[in-house]
A and B are shown apart, each in its own frame.
Chain A
Amino acid sequence: MIGSRRQILVRKTLLWIALILGACFAGLPVLWMVSSSFKSNLKIFAYPPALIDESFSFEAYQAVLGDPGQLRFFFNSYLVAILVTICTVVTSIMAGYAFSRYDFRFKKILNLVIIGVQSVPPITLMIPYFGLIVWLKIYNTYTALVLTYMVFTLSYAIIMMTGYFNTLPRDLDEAVMIDGGGSFVTLWRILVPISLPGIVAVGVYTFMLAWNEFLFALTLTRTNDMRTVPIGIHLLMGQHSFEWNQMLALSVLGSLPVLILFLLFQRYFIAGMSAGSVKG
């Protein structure tokens, strides 16, 4: 079955061609975005196009980083995403614990509801949402954004946490309970520390979702000092007569946190996905 050396060489060559074609499909658009962010605005659509031209400079980045208004978008995005991550992680640990370790009357139905929430279209909630948020007196606040994002992060997080807890032997918490520890102690002292890989996966995924959210960030905030990076990019599209290099620089800077998180935690992340909702 192994075949001759020649055959392996042919297969290897084909494999590399496919790999590189795939890398062009995925990577070239990104490379073009990054290189364009270093061009001057006049050169963005120059003919013929060049990956790097003589206008190369950090001007667009200086413009973004030197503008307190745009830095504020980053502050807001970080604050909201971190708060959403903390709240989602704590809430989903508690819910996952209940689903994994207890039998109760409405367990099946509640479980279905939580899985089902993933398919609720944001646009359906949108119309009454505005009125509801105003009525709760949290319009144009971080609270509104954090609570709203949790609606969309929680169900996935709970499914992942429940899946993770299910892989841990029950003997473990029973031993602690017999020693006189309550369920609360069991959860936070025993289960949480050994579930760290699952928790990190949930956290990274939540952060990504929260960092990227657009529709509600647009609708639930009114003033620029409350707006997040995706909305900031949207605003730049409207305001100036298309400062392409600045929009691209803001886009590159706005993608870095998620990229770094992903690079650091990709192992946890892939493991978490297989233990969580999409398991084989």
Chain B
Amino acid sequence: MATATQSQVVEPANIGWEQRKRKLLPYGYLSPTLLLLATLTVVPIVTVFLYSLFDNVIVNPNPPEFVGLENYIKALSHRKFRAALSNTMYFATASVVAHFVIGLSFALLLNSRLLAANVKALFRVIYILPWVFTASIIAILWRLLLNPHGVVNFVLLEVGLVPELLEWLSDRDLAIHAVTFINIWSGYPFYLVSFLAGLQGIPDDLYEAGHVDGANSWQLFRFITLPQLRPIIISLALLDFIWTLHQFTLVWMTTGGGSNSEVLSTYTYKAAFSSYEFSEASTLAMVILAMCTFFGIFYVRSQRMTDE
């Protein structure tokens, strides 16, 4: 190891100092990171946790009062919380599944041997396009397209798929599906890029061996491609699920959480910055953190497995 090689060349008298320096050096290199994470991640999380245990926090004339887990019981049993939770789970699950299917399909298309390199390069750029837009731009873009007088309604009406002009983003039955669709559109390129990298890493001899054994293309996909991509699929799906659980901007700027499309993050934001119920909002924030941490643990484990 590096430690052994290094101490051999150090003068005997300096060994103590050199060893101590070597022990402290990594912390030195890590100090900016640790300082930043301590002040801007650990401190806020601890604070928000404390807020969630008290009543009357932040803007309130009354002094804060310790109420234990009462905020949690109140928040979790609220009808609106349940609605937001079920919307969030639908939003996240549907997004992850669709991201995976679309991302993998496009990656396989782009990986086909029947296409010339420049064709692949062109389509790769087109397919990744939704990724370069930030959430607020994606929101504008789809508000333009899904406007009742917009082009989507026009096409659907002409083809005869819908009977009338639909209010995609303000209809109580449609809004959450429309937002989910928008999120699917904007998020699949992350999978596509990772799958493209992953597919390039699969050795050709595996497929050649498969051919020799007489496997057809479906079997090659099922028994070589999918298992080889498995580690990428697991980390991507977990990370994406976590990110979608706390997706805020897209929902906020398309429906604002109205029309039955409230998700946990918009519900929390409203509790804090519209109703100034900071105890309730902190409690909700802790609930979201707990959910994300739960899936985060699996993500961290999947990462460590790929590291080893």
CB within 8 Å of B: which residues of A? 1, 8, 11-12, 15, 18-19, 22-23, 25-27, 29-30, 32-33, 36, 44-45, 47-49, 91-92, 94-95, 97-99, 101-104, 107, 110, 112-129, 131-132, 147-148, 150-151, 154, 158-159, 170, 173-174, 177-178, 183, 208, 211-212, 214-215, 229-231, 233-234, 237, 244, 247-248, 251, 254-255, 258-259, 262-263, 266, 269-271, 273-274, 277-280
Contact = CB atoms under 8 A, between A and B. Distances in A.
Contact of B2 (A27, A94, A101): A101
Top 4 closest pairs, chain A to chain B, by CB:
A119-B296, A121-B246, A212-B134, A274-B197
Given A120-B292, A123-B248, A274-B200, A128 B29 contact: no
A278 B281 contact: no
A214 B134 CA distance: 9
Given A114-B37, A270-B196, 7 more contacts: A22-B123, A91-B33, A110-B30, A120-B289, A174-B6, A233-B137, A277-B235
A49 B151 CA distance: 6
Contacts of A150: 36, 40
Nearest to B6: A177
A211 B132 CA distance: 10
B126 interface: yes
23 contacts: A12-B114, A19-B115, A22-B106, A25-B185, A29-B130, A29-B185, A45-B150, A112-B304, A123-B248, A126-B285, A127-B281, A128-B282, A131-B47, A214-B135, A233-B136, A237-B253, A251-B140, A262-B131, A263-B125, A270-B193, A274-B201, A278-B236, A280-B306
Interface in B101-158: 105-106, 109, 112, 114-115, 123-137, 140-142, 144-145, 147, 149-151, 154
B101 to A, nearest CB: 12
Nearest to B106: A22
A106 B200 CA distance: 35
Contacts of A258: 132-134
Contacts of A170: 2
Given A215-B248, A274-B198, A127 B40 contact: no
B100 interface: no
A26 B186 CA distance: 9
Interface string B200-220: 111000000001000000000
The prevalent SS among residues of A at the interface is: helix
Contact of B5 (A47, A178, A263, A280): A178
Contacts of B306: 279-280
Interface of B: 1-3, 5-6, 9, 22-23, 25-27, 29-30, 32-34, 36-37, 39-41, 43-45, 47-48, 51, 58, 105-106, 109, 112, 114-115, 123-137, 140-142, 144-145, 147, 149-151, 154, 185, 193-194, 196-198, 200-202, 211, 228-229, 231-232, 235-236, 239, 242, 245-246, 248-249, 253, 265, 268-269, 272, 278, 281-282, 285-286, 288-289, 292-293, 295-297, 299-300, 303-304, 306
Contact of B51 (A128, A248, A263): A128
A183 B272 contact: no
Contacts of A234: 136, 253
A166 to B, nearest CB: 9
A178 B45 contact: no
B135 A123 contact: no
B28 to A, nearest CB: 8
A12 B109 CA distance: 11
Contacts of A251: 133, 137, 140-141
Nearest to B292: A119
Contacts of B197: 270-271, 273-274, 278, 280
A173 B29 CA distance: 16
The prevalent SS among residues of B at the interface is: helix
Contacts of B39: 132
B136 A214 contact: yes
B150 A214 contact: no
A121 B193 contact: no
Choose among B154, B268, B300 the residue with the greatest number of A CB atoms under 10 Å from its CB.
B300
Contacts of A25: 185
Given A151-B37, A273-B194, A278 B47 contact: no
Contact of B249 (A32, A118, A214, A263): A214
A117 B136 contact: no
Contacts of A36: 144
Nearest to A92: B33
A22 B134 contact: no
Contacts of B27: 98, 104
Given A102-B26, A121-B246, A183-B25, A244 B144 contact: yes
A118 B239 contact: yes
Nearest to B250: A214
A113 B44 CA distance: 15
B94 to A, nearest CB: 16
A170 B3 CA distance: 11
A127 B48 contact: yes
Contact of A123 (B2, B130, B145, B268): B268
A48 B141 CA distance: 19
A277 to B, nearest CB: 7
